[in-house]
Amino acid sequence: MTFSDTSSDLFNLIRSRLPELADAQQRVATTILNDPEWAMQAHVSEIARRSEVSDPTIVRFCQALGFRGLRDFKLRIAQQVALGSSALHRTVTADDSAAELIGKVLHSSADILLDVERQLSPALVEQAIATLANATRVDCYGAGTTSGYIASDTQGRLFRLGLNAHAYTDANMQLFSAATLGAGDVVIAVSHFGRMPSLLEAVAVAREQGATVIAITQPDTLLANACDLALTFSLPPSVNVYVGSDSCVAHLSILDVLIVGVAFRRGAAGVGQLKRLQDILSPHGLEVFPPRKTQKKTSP
């Protein structure tokens, strides 16, 4: 059998066949789904190395999907990338109903979160939580609109836990911030593509001053290689990444993990700070915790 119908979605085919594939072939599938544009140009040995499998496994994977071999499979990837992907979302088409649109977009985000869970290193997350919980000061850097928003959101949540936290999205202010850091201070640098020169410069200066840098980015980026703790994940290279929704959801999910971990690590200090905020802000109409619902008493 060959898979030659150009109107069919290759990536949906791979996802649907995942449970049937051997473990090694599932790793190949994940590698290709995460970066199909790279896969269609990569040599068999490069795909095997990134998937941590043998070269023959790549061929067996292609044949398991009904292709004659890697060349046939890569041709279909090229057709899918060029013709089969929507300009706004990798699974949505112009003919989809509102119900299909909701399902595809939200399922895509759910799939992204599962991918992030599989890719995150628990050991590195544990190190990052411990580092943040004991930090003297935490400065959050974001490069670009989405990363800048995430950096600001991170600062607000750390601040509410009682940490001395700041957020900087301006390149000059990031550099000023880095120059004033020292041992015991932490930088959280957020950049999906991890190649902004100004951000890399600020990170380098922060480390020179003795600060610890935690990066949230893709694997093997300049930022990942320039920090102390790299919390990395890959996303499919669809236009949706550039719109920012999947990338934003992935970054926020990682930060949720860190914030919750830091809150529990700080124990009574973190919870006590939130309680103080609640007591002070509640009379002004600002709630830190959702108000408790009081049950109506029923007369006997």
pLDDT of residue 82: 59
d(CA 271, CA 275): 6
- CATH architecture group of domain 118-283: 3-Layer(aba) Sandwich (3.40)
Cβ atoms of 248 and 145 within 8 Å: the answer is no
Domain ranges across the chain: 1-84, 118-283
Q: Which residues contact 299 (CB under 8 A, 6 or more apart)?
A: none
Q: Please, which residues have CB within 8 angstroms of residue 156's CB and are 6 or more apart in sequence?
A: 167
Q: What is the CATH number of domain 1-84?
A: 1.10.10.10
Residue with token string 């060959």 = 2
Q: Which position has the higher pLDDT, 125 or 282?
A: 125
Residue 292 pLDDT: 61
Residue closest to 185 by CA, chosen among 137, 114, 238: 137
pLDDT tens string 101-159: 888 778 777 878 888 898 899 999 999 999 999 999 999 999 878 889 999 999 999 98
Residue 49, SS3 per DSSP: helix
The pLDDT confidence band at residue 7, using thresholds 50, 70 and 90, is very low
Q: Are 51 and 31 in contact (CB under 8 A)?
A: yes
Query: Quick one: DSSP state of residue 81?
Result: I
Question: In 3-state terms, what secondary structure has residue 95?
Answer: coil
Residues with Cβ within 8 Å of residue 235, at least 6 apart in sequence: 34, 112, 115, 192, 218, 241, 246, 247, 250
List pLDDT tens digits, range 146-205.
889 999 999 999 988 889 999 999 999 999 999 999 999 999 999 988 989 999 999 999
Q: Is 219 helix (H, G, I), strand (E, B) or coil?
A: coil
Cβ–Cβ < 8 Å for 254, 116: yes
Contact 128, 229 (CB under 8 A): yes
